[in-house]
Amino acid sequence: MTKLMQVDHEHLEQKIYQVRGQKVMLDSDLAELYGVETKALNQAVKRNSERFPASFMFQLTAGEEEFLRSQIVTSKSENQISKEKRGGRRYAAKVFTEHGVLMLANVLRSSRAIAVSIQIVEAFVKMRAVTAIHGELSSRLTELEKTVKTQGGSIDFILDLLDREMKKKRIGFKPGKKDNDA
């Protein structure tokens, strides 16, 4: 692979979003990475629509686009069409799952698309591993919290019992009394 085709994993991970419970990438981000225009990418997808079932690619709703825009923190909506000059998007963005990204490389058929797709899939896999580790840690912490709560109740019970027993009988030296008085 040439240096041009190397993409920083951190940069890739920032372009992977969670939508409808799936990790996806925007068509515009993929087009930028593959070195093609978004319009050309979407035309290639349209020409090969049978290769992109809903589990590989779907179009965002207006609410989903707005939510993503707030996550991305862009200053101006890509969908806004200026009155002075025509520009921006006319249609809702498409997003691609990990499988859709791989299929795009097959459809675009460029060496850059193939190389970048491999890197994107590696980023998806890395994120999945991190998510799995996070999930396991979360469940372990929940289990630990339950154990501490249970033990905390037991310790409180034991301390309560000891306190009651101590009030009944005083143990130890009692000042003012002599044991050997005869």
**What does the block give as tokens for 55?**
């589990």
Domains in the chain, CATH or no CATH each: 3-75+88-129 (3.10.260)
Q: Which residue has the higher pLDDT, 46 or 69?
A: 46
Residue 79 has pLDDT above 60, yes or no: no
Q: What percent of the chain has pLDDT over 70?
A: 79
pLDDT for 179 equals 58
Contact (CB, 8 A) for 24 and 97: yes
Residue 88 has pLDDT above 70, yes or no: no
Buried b / exposed e across 53-82, counting CB within 10 Å, b at 16+? eeebbbebeeebbeebeeeeeeeeeeeeee
Using pLDDT thresholds of 50, 70 and 90, give the confidence band for residue 26: very high
**What does the block give as tokens for 10?**
């951190």
pLDDT for 87 equals 56
Report field, pTM of the whole predicted structure over 0.85: no
Average pLDDT over residues 54-64: 92
pLDDT for 54 equals 92
Residues composing the chain: 182
Return d(Cα 144, Cα 138) in angstroms, integer.
10
Beta-bridge partners for 173 = none
Return d(Cα 168, Cα 132) in angstroms, integer.
54
